[in-house]
Structure 1
Amino acid sequence: MDRNRIKVQDFLARVPLFNSMGPEELSRIALGTTELRVERGDMIFQRGDPCEGFHQVLYGQVKLSFTSSSGVEKVIELIGPGGSFGEALMFMGRPYIVSAQAMEDSLLLHVAKPAIYREIASDPEFACKMLAGLSQRMHGLMCDMESYALRSGTQRVAAYLLKEVPEQGAAQFTLPTTKAVLASRLSLTPEHFSRILADLSAQHLIAFKGRTIDVLDAAGLRDCAG
């Protein structure tokens, strides 16, 4: 086996979906796996392109989004290391309904549909892992829908910030992408998102400069999140 194939096996072994597989199983998956290195801003696929497998992010960040007929972009999800996308459409045999763009220099694995189908046919445990991953994604999307429908913009922003910090104490972190992208992800306009950050700062719950956020009062932020 060539060195590149061994490298792909090493990458696969780090992916939660594949980390319980032995060398022989990883070799089979590796035969249908392509390593994809993309630079920040590169498009990975466009809405309407055929879905012939799924992608796994090893490092970097990928934005899933679509653009309305009026040209307004809606960010559906931001996928970071360990995350995957495309599984559901792969099983449905449908083209992509979103576009994917690298927000950072990223390394992805693209696992082709035939390789996945072979493993599902031979390994029930693997099939269960696939179902668990899809169920987790569906649960996350349902939680997002509930948040958009029932929570205010301030509650959404506060809840998002709390996900980035420990439950106790103050912390500093850097927003993983631009404020405009995060605003779209939270179904807010960039202006509304900035006003909410300013209001939270005025309440001495956070301090921010550019994309750097200092959480000054985590308990107060939890109260705002509802």
Structure 2
Amino acid sequence: MSRPTQASTAAQRAAALKQAPFLAQLSEASRERVMAAATELRVHRGEEIFHTGDPARQCYLILTGKVKLSRTSKHQPPPPPPRPGEKLTVAARRRATTVQTRESLLWVMGPGDMFGELSVFDQGTRSSTAKAVTAATLLRFEGNQLAALVGMRQDVALAMLQVVATRLRRSDDHTTGMVLSDVSGRVAWLLMHLLERFGEDSDPVNEDSQWVRHDLTQTELAQIVGASRETVNKVLTDYESRGIIEVRPREFRVLMPQKLLARVE
């Protein structure tokens, strides 16, 4: 489980805190009060931070690394149809009653992003599972402490409302991108959003070219767009063959962003 550690390097911490929209909106006095209530944690790659159904008591801000939010659903596959005149075998009946689970990856977040923020307003249970995609350093805030600051300081209240509004906007964008497109369009939508969030400096030779280190497997990419890994692999291969992107494990380079944007629209 998560545990307190020594502080991150000063440069990493300063960069992450500067990127955090929540903290950037606070006055110096409010920021000091908020930071005084924070505990710094380090989690390993693949480590679970909280699970669906857990009590929602803390929220987190990412200093370094990436964290994904996912949700698991139960699925009971139908039995294979019998051949003409053939009855279902015992094994087929057993498979038909076996409930399987599916993981849907909701989003991946990086330095400056906040998650678990609903615990500040409603200390119910977690609606998703948070897991470290890479080794990560986090700030953990007790929800009741932030709730007290929300009640006392207007800028903290407005900053928390902005965090929630960003979450809702992201959810709406995700729903629109997933519902109104085919798989190829959904993959293009995902690549553009990853580019916007994790795109690195452009290539001096080609200003439109940017590397995106997302740290996700193709299976995880497929979980976001609601398709099979094989289908997503075919779409990425098609985009690469057309010179739109260059794909490497857990990263890609966008060579023609306008082509991806046109596919999304």
Bigger drift between 93-102 and 207-216 goes to: 207-216
1:21 maps to a residue whose letter is S
Secondary structure of 1:64's counterpart equals: strand
Q: Evaluate the alpha carbon distance shift between residue 60 and residue 175 of structure 1 in structure 2; reply closer, same or farther with a 3 A threshold.
A: closer
Runs of 5+ consecutive residues of structure 2 not aligned to the other structure: 1-5, 75-99
Residues 175/77 of structure 1: CA separation in 2 closer, same or farther (3 Å cut)? closer
Q: Write the deviation string for residues 66-102 of structure 1: whole angstroms up to 9, x where unpaired.
A: 2222221111111211111111244122111111111
Aligned-residue identity in percent: 25
Question: What residue ranges of structure 1 are gaps of 5+ in the alignment?
Answer: none
Aligned-partner SS, 2:22:
coil
- The one-letter code of the counterpart of 1:144 is H
Secondary structure of 2:263's partner? helix
Kindly provide the CA deviation profile for residues 174-218 of structure 1, in whole angstroms up to 9, marking residues without a partner as x.
343212112212222211110110121232322323334233333
Structure 1 residues 210, 117: CA separation in 2 closer, same or farther (over 3 Å shift)? Answer: closer
Retained in 1: the 8 A contact 2:17–2:112? no
TM-score by length of 1: 0.85
Q: Which amino acid aligns with 2:57?
A: E
Residue in structure 2 matched with residue 122 of structure 1 by the alignment: 152
Who is 1:201 aligned against?
240
Alpha-carbon spacing, 1:30–1:210, altered in 2? closer, same or farther (3 Å): closer
Q: Secondary structure at the match of 1:72?
A: strand
Once the two structures are overlaid, the 10-residue window that deviates more, 210-219 or 198-207, is 210-219
Larger gyration radius, structure 1 or structure 2:
2
2:215, 2:251 within 8 Å by CA — same for their partners in 1? no
Provide the C-alpha distance between the structure 2 equivalents of 1:101 and 1:59, rounded to a whole number of angstroms. 14
1:151 to 169, 181, 190: 181
1:55 corresponds to which of 60, 64, 78:
60
Residues 80, 174 of structure 1: CA spacing in aligned structure 2 closer, same or farther, 3 A cutoff?
Answer: closer
**Partner residue of 1:38 out of 43, 55, 64:** 43
After TM superposition, give the deviation of residue 27 of structure 1 in Å. 4.7
Aligned-residue Cα RMSD (Å) equals: 2.6
